[in-house]
Amino acid sequence: MRRKYVVWIWFLVALFLCNMLAGTVLAAEALKGKSVNINKATAEELVKNVPQMPPELAKNIVKYRKDNGDYQQLEELLQVKGMDRTLLKKWTNFFILEGIGGKDCTC
């Protein structure tokens, strides 16, 4: 009976270590990217600096900016075709808002 508990304890320890390792891998992936100003970045810069950014979505982000002016807040990205809350939450730390001006801005 005692041996059964020891096996379960080792199983739980192994499971805990696997979860920690997975978290470390995700953190390392996040460090690969760099922050990018979504009001200035090209589609290529978005793909290069935001982990797992699909090229088509990057193009849509730039096109939306060209059509509507600078992004005023990150939530505006939800208006871009292909973007959803899950992706926005995943990439929020990679986006910077600088140089904010509207389509008709004379800044």
For the domain made up of 34-102, give the CATH fold: DNA polymerase; domain 1 (1.10.150)
For residues 46-73, average pLDDT: 96
Task: Give residue 28's pLDDT.
Answer: 47
8 Å CB contact between 50 and 33: yes
What does the pLDDT look like over 26-59, one tens digit per residue?
554 554 558 999 999 999 999 999 999 999 999 9
- Residue 41 CA neighbour count, 13 Å, CB half: 24
Distance CA 78, CA 87 (A): 9
For residues 71-97, average pLDDT: 95
- Structure tokens that stand for 34 in this block: 């760099």
- Structure tokens that stand for 36 in this block: 């990018």
Task: Give residue 4's pLDDT.
Answer: 74
Compute the mean pLDDT over every residue in the chain, rounded to the nearest whole number: 82
| Whole-structure pTM value | 0.64
Instruction: Please check the confidence at residue 107 and state whether its pLDDT lies above 50.
Output: no
Query: Would you place residue 71 in the very low, low, confident or very high pLDDT band (cuts 50, 70, 90)?
Result: very high
Distance CA 30, CA 17 (A): 20
Distance CA 52, CA 87 (A): 10
Query: Would you place residue 9 in the very low, low, confident or very high pLDDT band (cuts 50, 70, 90)?
Result: confident
Distance CA 98, CA 19 (A): 36
